[in-house]
């Protein structure tokens, strides 16, 4: 089945220790998104790639970086995690055609910062 | 600013019907999505409305009124597995997806 895969599902890191979350997709979608979601809150878009074009949201902290080495993979790097970065991180993809575009989500990675 | 309002929490009984409302104020409108999100899991797509009216899909239906900036998700014949959060999201004029905080639906036997 075509899908969006995230690894790991649960990640524990220490305050200030860099961490990388990964996302892969078999949908061959052009667009990949990274969201941060805290408990009982709306998902917050951090950035997205349209093919290789990177689009950063204005309020995304510099502590968060992303890489998309090819169509299938996208990574979220948190350079120096703080306690406030503990959250669920959701990867999503969309086809990227003109007009409204349904986003399909991976299972998420729950990040704990000790 | 752009805003999506949904009730924080609702409770319903197994087998019953529940309506979850969503109102939005956005800069333009290019469609409204409903997603279901079980606790600790990712959102899954339920429906997309861009024209006024009711879209029915099995036990779930979604309604849109663009003039009122209003949508609802109707769930019939509720099952325990329907306990989840339901998120409303709107595409604005720039196709930016604006998310609501979600409505936590609790189903009681």
Write the CA distances from B85 to A3, A64, B11, B90, integer angstroms. Answer: 22, 27, 11, 17
Region A83-99 average pLDDT: 90
Cross-chain Cβ contact B50/A100 below 8 Å: yes
Q: What token pair was written down for A42?
A: 């709306």
For residue A98, the model assigns a pLDDT of 67
Cross-chain Cβ contact B42/A41 below 8 Å: no
Q: Residue A45: which pLDDT band, with cuts at 50, 70 and 90?
A: very high
Contact criterion met (CB below 8 Å) for A94 and A4 = no
Q: How far apart are CA B52 and CA A31, in angstroms?
A: 28
Q: Is residue A113 scored above 90 in pLDDT?
A: yes
Q: What token pair was written down for A51?
A: 């093919």
Neighboring chain A residues of B48 at a CB cutoff of 8 Å:
100, 102
Region B47-58 average pLDDT: 94
Question: For B53-92, how does the pLDDT look when each residue is reduced to its tens digit (9 = 90+)?
Answer: 999 999 999 999 999 999 999 999 999 999 999 999 999 8
Neighboring chain B residues of A40 at a CB cutoff of 8 Å:
8, 85, 101-102, 104
Query: A39: part of which helix (H) or strand (E)?
Result: none
For residue A1, the model assigns a pLDDT of 65
Cross-chain Cβ contact B30/A99 below 8 Å: yes
Q: Is residue A100 scored above 80 in pLDDT?
A: no
Q: Which residues of A touch B (CB under 8 A)?
A: 40-45, 88, 90, 99-108, 110
Of B30, B41, B97, the CB nearest to A103: B97
- Asked which of A32-41, A98-107, B52-61 is least confident by mean pLDDT, the reply is A98-107
Cross-chain Cβ contact A42/B44 below 8 Å: no
Question: For A53-64, how does the pLDDT look when each residue is reduced to its tens digit (9 = 90+)?
Answer: 999 998 999 999
Q: Is residue A2 scored above 70 in pLDDT?
A: no
Asked if B31 has any chain A CB less than 8 Å from its own CB, the reply is yes
Q: How far apart are CA B33 and CA B20, in angstroms?
A: 13
Task: Tokens 């979601």: give the residue.
Answer: A37
CA B54 to chain A, closest CA, distance in angstroms equals 19
For residue B42, the model assigns a pLDDT of 87
Neighboring chain B residues of A103 at a CB cutoff of 8 Å:
33, 45, 97
What is the share, in percent, of chain B residues with pLDDT greater than 70? 100
The mean of the pLDDT values for chain B is 95
């Amino acid at each position: 089945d075509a899908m969006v895969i995230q690894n790991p599902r649960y990640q524990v890191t220490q305050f200030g220790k860099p961490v990388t979350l990964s996302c892969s997709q078999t949908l061959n979608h052009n667009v990949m998104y990274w969201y941060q979601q805290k408990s009982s809150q709306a998902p917050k878009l951090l950035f997205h790639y349209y093919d290789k074009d990177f689009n950063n949201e204005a309020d995304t902290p510099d502590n968060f970086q992303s890489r998309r080495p090819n169509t299938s993979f996208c990574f979220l790097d948190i350079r120096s995690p703080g306690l406030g970065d503990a959250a669920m991180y959701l990867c999503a993809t969309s086809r990227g055609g003109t007009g409204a575009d349904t986003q399909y989500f991976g299972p998420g990675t729950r990040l704990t910062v000790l | 600013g752009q805003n999506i309002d949904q009730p924080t929490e609702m409770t319903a009984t197994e087998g019953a019907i529940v309506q979850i409302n969503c109102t939005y104020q956005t800069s333009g409108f290019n469609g409204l999505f409903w997603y279901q999100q079980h606790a600790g899991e990712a959102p899954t797509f339920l429906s997309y409305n861009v024209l006024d009216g009711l879209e029915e899909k099995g036990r779930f239906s979604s309604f849109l009124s663009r003039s009122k900036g209003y949508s609802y998700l109707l769930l019939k014949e509720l099952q325990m597995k329907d306990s989840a959060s339901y998120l409303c999201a709107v595409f604005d004029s720039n196709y930016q997806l604006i998310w609501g905080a979600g409505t936590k639906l609790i189903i009681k036997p």
